[in-house]
Amino acid sequence: MDELGALFHGFAVVLSPLNLGLMIVGIVLGVLIGVLPGLGGANGVAILLPLTFSMSPTSAIIMLSCIYWGALFGGAITSILFNIPGEPWSVATTFDGYPMAQNGQAGKALAAAFTSSFVGAFIAVVMITFLAPLVAKFALKFGPPEFFAVYLLTFCSFVGMGKGSPFKILASMAIGFALAAVGMDTVTGQLRLTFGIPDLMRGFDFLIAVIGLFGIGEILLSMEEGLKFSGKTAKLNPRVVLETWKELPRYWVTSLRSAAVGIWMGVTPGGATPASFMSYGLAKKMSRDGAKFGTGQVEGVVAPETAAHAAGTSALLPMLALGIPGSPTAAVLLGGLLIWGLQPGPLLFVEQKDFVWGLIASMYLGNIAGLLIVLTTVPLFAAILRVPFSIIAPVIIVICAIGAYTVHTAMLDVWLMLGFGVIGYVFKKLDYPLAPLVLALVLGDKAEDSFRQAMLVSQGDLAIMWSNLLVGSITGLALLLLLWPLLSRAWAGVRRPKRIELNREQPVD
């Protein structure tokens, strides 16, 4: 019950007028970011990061994490009213949310979406409250080989759990690692891979990559279609909200299952987007009304929203407890920690109690505040979406440029951002995943350091990765996940050998 005491201490830290004010500012900005195309959780937080440089770390993380909650809430608004997912994780919400809006049930769909987002986040926060300190305590025993094994597990799970070509996942990850290696070598102090260009000495900052890949890339993608907004208007009155709340407990099984899917996908770096799809798919298969999914079922809104929010929230667990982010947005928050002078990792729970528990307490309060704010301000944000794209697009590009410039006050970064934007556009169209690239760029140096330290300890013997039960089982699990695409194909081959033979027997002319 130590955790409860610490949590109440955290509430005491958070409940200052300044922090509560920042929380509300953060939520409103976050919903705005979630609603606007081209600005998302990761790059929105990255752009706003410089605004927090002068704040105390606790206030800063409260505002930034509230931007994140707001963005998670905001994505649902555009999906339901305009059939345009503001965020990739709300794509699955459009399947049943937009039909509901067309049937005149926009208010009900929004209330269901917001409430189930809240439920998902709440379950995930409770999990973080009790699990994160345990994980951190456990991780204090970690040495360099254990940490490298955990990094390995993080990246291998992208390959094992990702969809699409494993080569594309590997390529995207390797590009991230390679970009991370550019600049000063942390061990020997040598310059690496700068090819004689002095500006490259600084290396590539992942914030620039995030702003370009997710911001500019998304704008280019939206421009392709020449966006036309034709949305439904929504009025959310208390009666509709209450009626929806009466109905929601019926779907408790779906909620719990979706939250579990979300938590699992969030802690292992699967991310909110696959979580929302998986949970929608499971709900469709398991629900009694599964056949009616896609025509405007409340359950079809509940499932993806709960999972997306649970995943988004639980992605902060590995970031807090191990210093390894579970999603690009968590990576941006981790970058923030470093800028504010905090060392992420298990020691955070020992040395920065105020910060950690303040953050966890703000997750509870931020989600409650978020729910209240979005329930009351939907018409306002829906109105923003009526601003034509020819105004919004240049403003977003300007905001991205400002964000890229302020990271290091360097103009080269703005050019790099533009380059990353083109890469983001091409990669998105070709189904290269972007999250592994960003996470490799963030964790590249640390993964390399822990690998080199481990190799120094063992005099270059790779057997150190199996030197005890802990490190051996993590490494083994990592390799299993890495080889998963091959194994699952082999398994499929063993199970259905007849079909292959049949194919072979068929005449080919």
Partner 1 sequence: MEQDRGAGAARGGVSMLAVEVVVAVLVFALGLTILIGSWTLGSSWTSDGPGPGYFPFYISLIMCVSGVGIAVQALRKRPEGIFADGQQLRQVLVVLVPAALYVLAVQLIGLYIASALYIALFMALLGKYSPVKSTVAAVAIMVLFFLLFEVWFKVPLFKGAFNLLQFTGY
Q: Which residues contact partner 1 (rule: CB under 8 A)?
A: 50-51, 53-54, 165, 167-168, 170-171, 173-175, 177-178, 181, 185, 187-188, 190, 192-193, 195, 216, 219-220, 223-226, 388, 390-391, 393-395, 397-398, 401-402, 405-406, 409, 411, 414-415, 418, 421-423, 425-427, 429-430, 432, 448, 451-452, 455-456, 460
Residue 451 Cβ vs partner 1, minimum distance, rounded to whole Å = 7
For residue 155, with 0-12 CB atoms within 10 Å meaning exposed, 13-18 middle and 19 or more buried, which class applies?
Answer: buried
**What does the alpha-carbon distance between residue 203 and residue 292 come to, in Å, rounded to a whole number?**
52
Residue 183 Cβ vs partner 1, minimum distance, rounded to whole Å = 11
**What does the alpha-carbon distance between residue 339 and residue 9 come to, in Å, rounded to a whole number?**
25
Residue 396 Cβ vs partner 1, minimum distance, rounded to whole Å = 10
**What does the alpha-carbon distance between residue 402 and residue 410 come to, in Å, rounded to a whole number?**
11
Count the residues in the chain.
509
Cβ neighbours of residue 338 closer than 8 Å, sequence gap 6 or more = 344
Cβ nearer to partner 1, comparing 320 with 400: 400
Cβ nearer to partner 1, comparing 56 with 295: 56
**What does the alpha-carbon distance between residue 464 and residue 461 come to, in Å, rounded to a whole number?**
6
Residue 311 Cβ vs partner 1, minimum distance, rounded to whole Å = 27
**What does the alpha-carbon distance between residue 285 and residue 279 come to, in Å, rounded to a whole number?**
10
Residue 193 Cβ vs partner 1, minimum distance, rounded to whole Å = 5
Cβ neighbours of residue 428 closer than 8 Å, sequence gap 6 or more = 217, 218, 221, 434
Cβ nearer to partner 1, comparing 165 with 377: 165
Q: Is the dihedral of CA 368, 370, 373, 376 positive or negative?
A: negative
Q: Given phi > 0 = left and psi -120 to 50 = alpha, else beta, which region is 66?
A: alpha
Cβ nearer to partner 1, comparing 460 with 507: 460
Tokens 């392709």 sit on residue: 224
Cβ nearer to partner 1, comparing 46 with 363: 46
Cβ nearer to partner 1, comparing 107 with 160: 160
CA trace torsion 503, 506, 508, 509 (10° rounding): -150
Residue 238 Cβ vs partner 1, minimum distance, rounded to whole Å = 34
Residue 226 Cβ vs partner 1, minimum distance, rounded to whole Å = 6
Cβ nearer to partner 1, comparing 26 with 266: 26
Residue 464 Cβ vs partner 1, minimum distance, rounded to whole Å = 13
Cβ nearer to partner 1, comparing 237 with 390: 390
Pull the structure tokens for residue 476: 């083994």
**What does the alpha-carbon distance between residue 334 and residue 140 come to, in Å, rounded to a whole number?**
18
Residue 155 Cβ vs partner 1, minimum distance, rounded to whole Å = 10
Cβ nearer to partner 1, comparing 199 with 224: 224
Instruction: Identify whether the C-beta of residue 417 lies closer than 8 Å to the C-beta of residue 405.
Output: no
Strand partners, 183: 192
Instruction: Identify whether the C-beta of residue 82 lies closer than 8 Å to the C-beta of residue 90.
Output: no
